[in-house]
Each structure stands twice: as C-alpha cells, then as structure tokens.
C-alpha cells in the first residue's frame, strides 16, 4: 500500500445526498489545487454494535465499497476524475477521518445534523471541525 499524499483532498462518503455534494465540491477543489482526491467511507466499529448482533466484517466492508461505488457513479457518471482514489476504512468515522486528515491539505464533509437537537452539524462533521489536522469544509445540502 502506498503512503498517503500529504497534499491530498479527502472527502468523507456515507452514501447520503450530503456526501454526494461534498464529493462534487471536493473534486472541484482538488482540481483547482492540483491535488489528488481521495473518497473515504468508514465501515464502523463492530465492537460498539449490539452484542446480540452478529457482524460480518467482510460484509460490512463490501457494503461500504458498494456505497462508495454508487456515490462516485451518482456524482460523476462516466466522467470520473483521473486518479480518484476510493478507500474503505474500519473504525468510527470521526476518529478515522481525523487521523487521515493528518496527511491531507483539506477534508470535505457533507452536513447532516440529524440529532434533532437543533444541531447545525452532525456528530462526525462537528468532531472533524474541532479536531482535524487540516482545514475542514462542511457542505450544506
């Protein structure tokens, strides 16, 4: 596996329309910056799921690979940016994206804010804004 590029633009993908908007913007920004673009989906941490639920980690990873592929197809169709890298990581999205941001110049995320508590940002984007090692752009859908 190659080392991540320090100048890459990262975008978090969860399959939502908000992450599609984030991917669109990240592609434009990466092109403007002349930077590599990497779309990342996080398959979660099976250890935090209900103990009664049997989790097949390979199936979880395969599901997130499908989410990434569907999102890329929905955003770009047949015009996928050259060099676009897609990656599925295990673990909690906020923690993994924050760790990955250490080797990036920009992190782009879609905004959910689904908590119902009047939050302007979702928990992942809120954590990334607070702790990422690079600038974070949160795209409003």
Three-state secondary-structure class, residue 50: coil
Answer positive or negative: Cα dihedral of 57, 97, 125, 22: negative
Give the per-residue pLDDT at 66: 96
- Asked whether residue 3 is assigned to any structural domain, the reply reads no
Q: What is the pTM of this model?
A: 0.86
Q: What is the pLDDT along the chain (141 residues), one digit of tens a residue?
A: 455 567 999 999 999 999 999 999 999 999 999 999 999 999 876 555 555 455 678 888 899 999 999 999 999 999 999 999 999 999 899 999 999 999 999 999 998 655 444 445 578 999 999 999 999 999 987
Q: What are phi and psi of 26, to 5 degrees?
A: -60, -40
The residue behind tokens 């390979």 is 58
- Asked whether residue 4 is assigned to any structural domain, the reply reads no
- Asked whether residue 2 is assigned to any structural domain, the reply reads no
Strand pairing class (9-12; 106-110)? parallel
The residue behind tokens 């993908």 is 13
The continuous run of DSSP H or E covering 110 comes out as strand 106-110
Nearest Cα residue to 45 out of 5, 89, 90: 90
Give the per-residue pLDDT at 114: 52
Tell me the C-alpha to C-alpha distance, in Å, between residue 62 and each of 49, 59, 127: 18, 5, 26
- Asked whether residue 122 is assigned to any structural domain, the reply reads yes
CATH code, domain with 99: 3.40.50.620
- Asked whether residue 81 is assigned to any structural domain, the reply reads yes
Q: What are phi and psi of 10, to 5 degrees?
A: -100, 150
Nearest Cα residue to 110 out of 10, 15, 21, 9: 21
| Structural domain of 120 | 9-139
Calpha distance 108→21 (Å, rounded): 10
């Amino acid at each position: 596996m190659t080392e991540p590029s320090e100048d890459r633009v990262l975008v978090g993908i969860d399959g939502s329309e908000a992450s599609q908007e984030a991917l669109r913007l990240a592609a434009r920004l990466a092109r403007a910056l002349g930077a590599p673009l990497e779309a990342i989906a996080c398959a979660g941490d099976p250890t935090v799921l209900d103990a009664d639920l049997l989790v097949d980690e390979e199936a979880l990873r395969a599901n997130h690979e499908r989410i990434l592929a569907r999102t890329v197809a929905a955003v770009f169709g047949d015009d996928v940016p050259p060099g676009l890298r897609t990656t599925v990581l295990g673990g909690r999205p906020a923690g993994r994206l924050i760790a990955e941001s250490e080797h990036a110049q920009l992190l782009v995320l879609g905004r959910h804010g689904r908590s119902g508590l009047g939050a302007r940002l979702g928990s992942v984007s809120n954590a990334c804004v607070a702790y990422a090692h690079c600038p974070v752009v949160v795209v409003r859908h």
